[in-house]
Amino acid sequence: MSSAVDHHDDHHGPVTLKDGFGKWVMRWISTTNHKDLGTLYLWFAFIMFFVGGAMALVIRAELFEPGMQFVQPEFFNQMTAMHALVMIFGAVMPAFVGLANWMIPMMIGCSDLALPRVNNWGFWILPFAFTILLSTLFVPGGAPAAGWTMYPPLSLQTSNAFPMLIFSVHLMGISSITGAINVVVTILNMRAPGMTLLKMPLFVWTWLITAYLLIATMPVLAGAVTMLLTDKYFGTSFFSASGGGDPVMFQHIFWFFGHPEVYILILPAFGIVSTIIPTFARKTLFGYDSMVYATASIAFLSFIVWAHHMFTAGMPVAAELFFMFSTMLIAVPTGVKVFNWVATMWRGSMTFETPMLFAVAFVFLFTIGGFSGLMLAIAPVDFQYHDTYFVVAHFHYVLVPGAVFAIMGGVYYWLPKWTGVMYNEKLGKLHFWLTAIFVNVTFFPMHFSGLAGMPRRIPDYAVQFADFNMWSSIGAFGFGFAQLIFLWVVVQSCLKKGEAATSRVWEGAHGLEWTVPSPAPYHTFEEPPMIADAEITAVHDEPAKA
């Protein structure tokens, strides 16, 4: 076992509430510590998860029965647009950045991110961005209601909320880009000796590739929304047909960002699952190298498939075919990953603690989402599926039991390392089972309502869809309430209620983060550690040669 970990106990710890409230608040505002910022990002994401969830429940309450029940159609549309924006940019992305903040330095053996001030700044932009976005609910004319995709000309009809929407998207973009730059610089420049690129844990790899995707695509989104802004207020006609522009062009630019964005939302999840499964299967991850190459090829392919979101927008047959086949090609590296996870579990001595339950459910349910994606990729049939609940079912399968399950699994997995106590395993399992059951009750029927023709983003529907929708709504409320258990478990852990955790926490866990005590000291790896072979073997098929 490596004992070269230097804990620097002479460093005084962080300011706590006991030192005075004002000082404590200032600590969080001015902190540049990667663990503090990780915590802030994760709590921010958690709050946004509940805000976005509340919006989803408004949607599902209205759709419980046909006819208009609770809200006006305008407000319903605001809910669908805001739900997506809050969940994507407020919950899932910040949660991944939070995990990256906490874990990447501890996994590669450095003391902090490369640019700690930038890190602080990147986080503190977010509360402002979302205050602006959420306050649009209270301006005259209401919040943006043209969907998270913001297609013109409809989005240009947004009233006072419009500039606020654009400004908040710009802020979110700046935050993501600075975060991504920080991650790349940290990973490329600050690894401990012996931690070569192809020895890095997969979470680090997937984040490195995700960070490149962010740097390459967020600016394109910023450009697209800037053009919307100038079209509305400064007389340009990028997308306005009256001035010679073309609204369809917005769709091309948006999806040039948008499709890589969906991989930004899933690649770190792949990394988390690739970390959890070997731990609880007590085996080495199967096919480490192929995992890395699969991730890289997914990222590359994600740039040439965007128009599969636009099959019905009017494209020549050659383009339909190109985008159809390139999209299907993505299923190949994705399949490699799924097979590798299954092979890792094969004949392992598996145990099913909460993180593993989430990881196994991820493999199973994400694959269902991949299959519906393949169906949508078939251009001729997409004419039937497009803009129906089938698409809604598809992306919720990849995003909820996909990205969100991976985040939850990751939180349970690393929580003892963060707080120093074991979370309540019974409640964790209860949370998992309720979540896993209700997620299917919610989203599985949407495949059927979609195939039967129910359009998305509509507050009312024909009675033939009533049963499917009732199930979806029941599931959604069950899912929502199950998350309160999660909140309870996390809060209990943060209050240090629970058995003390060992450094290793999990019997089968390997990697540098498990060589430091639990809770992880405020400063870790001030001096680069010596990496013991055992910490590498579990993440990689070969031992380290330091």
* Interaction of residue 150 with other proteins, rule CB under 8 A: no
Write the DSSP assignment of 31-84 as a string of letters: ---HHHHHHHHHHHHHHHHHHHHHHHHHHHHHTTSSS--SS-HHHHHHHHHHHH
Figure out which of the listed residues 83, 191, 232, 308 binds ligand HEM, where binding follows CB under 6 A: 308
Looking at beta carbons, which pairs linking 494-499 to residues 24 or more positions away fall under 8 Å? 494/419, 496/419, 496/420, 496/421, 497/421, 498/419, 498/421, 498/422, 498/423, 498/424, 499/421, 499/422
- 274 catalytic, yes or no? yes
Of 38, 98, 373, 416, which one interacts with ligand HEM (CB under 6 A)? 373
* Binding string, residues 294-333; x marks residues near other proteins by CB under 8 A: --------------------xxx--x--------------
112 is known as an active-site residue? yes
Question: Is 23 noted as a catalytic residue in this protein?
Answer: no
- Which C-beta is closer to other proteins: that of 56 or that of 307? 307
Considering only residues 1, 17, 54, 188, which one is a binding residue for other proteins as defined by CB under 8 A? 188
Integer distance in angstroms from the first to the last C-alpha of the chain? Answer: 14
Asked whether 274 and 291 are in contact (CB, 8 A), the reply is yes
257-296 positions binding Cu ion, by CB under 5 A: 259
Active site residue 309: yes
Q: Which of 35, 60, 191, 259 is catalytic?
A: 259
Active site residue 148: yes
**Is residue 330 close enough to count as binding ligand HEM by CB under 6 A?**
yes
Secondary structure class of 500 (helix, strand, coil): strand
Phi, psi of 388 (to 5 degrees): -115, 180
Interface with other proteins (CB under 8 A), residue from 48, 56, 126, 224: 224
Question: Is position 386 annotated as part of the catalytic site?
Answer: no
Among 42, 85, 126, 377, which residue sits at the site for ligand HEM (rule: CB under 6 A)? Answer: 377
Q: How far apart are CA 176 and CA 174, in angstroms?
A: 6
Instruction: Please confirm, yes or no, whether 433 is among the known catalytic residues.
Output: no
177 binds other proteins (CB under 8 A): yes
Q: E-assigned strands of 144-218?
A: none
Minimum distance between the CB of residue 444 and Cu ion, rounded to whole angstroms?
21
Q: Specify whether the backbone of 246 is left (phi greater than 0), alpha (psi in -120 to 50) or beta.
A: beta
Q: Strand pairing partners for 421?
A: 500
Query: 176 an active-site residue?
Result: yes
**Residue of 88, 184, 361, 446 interacting with other proteins (CB under 8 A):** 184
**Shortest reach from residue 30's CB to other proteins, in Å:** 20
List 136, 158, 175, 206, catalytic entry: 175
Q: Are the C-beta atoms of residues 479 and 439 closer than 8 Å to each other? A: yes
Name the one range near ligand HEM by CB under 6 A: 225-233, 395-403, 433-441, 444-452.
395-403
Our answer to whether residue 212 is catalytic in this structure is no
One-letter-per-residue 3-state SS of 212-251: HHHHHHHHHHHHHHHHHHHHHHCCCCCCCHHHCCCHHHHH
Pick 215 or 331: Cβ nearer other proteins: 215
Binding mask 243-272 for ligand HEM (x = CB under 6 A): -------------------x--xx------
CA distance 276 to 414: 10
**396 in catalytic set:** no
Member of 2, 149, 290, 492 binding ligand HEM (CB under 6 A): 149
Angle formed by the axes of helices 34-62 and 466-494, nearest 10°: 150
Q: Which residue is nearest to ligand HEM (CB)?
A: 373
Query: Is residue 393 within 8 Å of residue 446, measured between CB atoms?
Result: yes
- Annotated catalytic residue 456: yes
Angle in degrees, CA 88, 93, 98, rounded to 5: 150
Active site residues: 83, 112, 148, 175-176, 259, 261, 263, 274, 308-309, 334, 337, 456
Q: Which residues would be at the binding site for Cu ion (CB under 5 A)?
A: 259
